[in-house]
Chains A and B, each alone.
Chain A
């Protein structure tokens, strides 16, 4: 089992690239990264989930926690995901109404800036 995390800056947005499996074992690493980024002043985050192979409710909880954290600083946390099996999890849990979910990083950035 593996989870790879990376991040880079694009415009004023921090892009978090997640690859692999997010579950009760690996999710704490994603939580730590999101907390660290926010603590360093990054309040506009886009989590790119295109390479996520598995996601459970622990991972959903980490993303919700990240969203609450950035909102406390008037920030945003949007997702990039086009994988039907992952999108289904967000739909079942009603989280498609909570997160902005986009098809590309650029779309996520453009949408936020247009608001």
Chain B
């Protein structure tokens, strides 16, 4: 069973938890293992937090999710200032910020940051739900009957 949704949220910190609630239910409904689920929730939170902290000018942002066919594809779209993710340096150990992109890149199978010529950025996060042998035993992905249908 695939789950697809799109939500527009005010650019407020509390909405990051709202996004996690939506995603949690979508991922649970698809029998996604705890490890993949946690990675997806974390990368989504990082992308949303970036919008909230740096997306000045934009009152809203949008989260599009498509969980189906053994993969989870998220797009976080904002209309704030553009930035070049490749120019964001790795943080020094005593820096208090700057670790979000590192976590997104490490925990996703693919991450792209696309700037619009009209302003704004789309962060696309892709996660394969069956990721090698390590997750198979946990019943991650489409081979498992979704918990809500048991």
A residues near B (Cβ < 8 Å) are 1, 21, 23-25, 54, 56-58, 60-62, 64-65, 67-68, 85, 89, 92-95, 97-98
Interface size class of B (residues with CB under 8 A): 20 to 34
Q: Name which residue of chain B comes closest to A25, CB basis.
A: B13
Q: Does chain A have a CB within 8 A of B8? A: no
13 A-B residue pairings within 8 Å (CB atoms): A24-B53, A25-B13, A25-B14, A54-B38, A54-B42, A56-B100, A62-B96, A64-B93, A64-B94, A85-B38, A93-B103, A94-B93, A97-B93
B139 to chain A, nearest CB (A): 17
Q: Nearest chain B CB to A59's CB is how many angstroms away?
A: 10
- Quick check: which of B44-52, B61-69, B71-79, B130-138 contacts chain A, the rest being far away? B44-52
Q: Which residues of B contact A98 (CB under 8 A)?
A: 93-94
Per the bound structure, the CA–CA distance linking A65 and B94 in Å amounts to 8
Q: Chain B nearest CB: distance from A72 CB in Å?
A: 12
Q: Is B97 an interface residue (CB 8 A)?
A: yes
Given A56-B49, A56-B100, A92-B106: A23 and B17 interface contact (C-beta under 8 Å): yes
The answer to whether B97 and A57 have CB atoms under 8 Å apart is yes
Do B45 and A23 touch across chains, with their CB atoms under 8 A apart?
Answer: yes
Q: Check B107 for interface membership: any CB of A closer than 8 A.
A: yes
Task: Tell me how far the C-beta of B134 lies from the nearest C-beta in chain A, rounded to whole angstroms.
Answer: 12
> C-beta contact mask, B27-63 vs A, less than 8 Å → 1, else 0?
0000000110010011001101100110000000000
Q: How far is the CA of A92 from the CA of B106 in the complex (A)?
A: 7
Interface mask (B70-102 → A, CB under 8 Å = 1, otherwise 0)? 000000000000000000000101111111101
Chain A residue nearest to B21 (CB atoms) is: A1
B16 within 8 A of A: yes
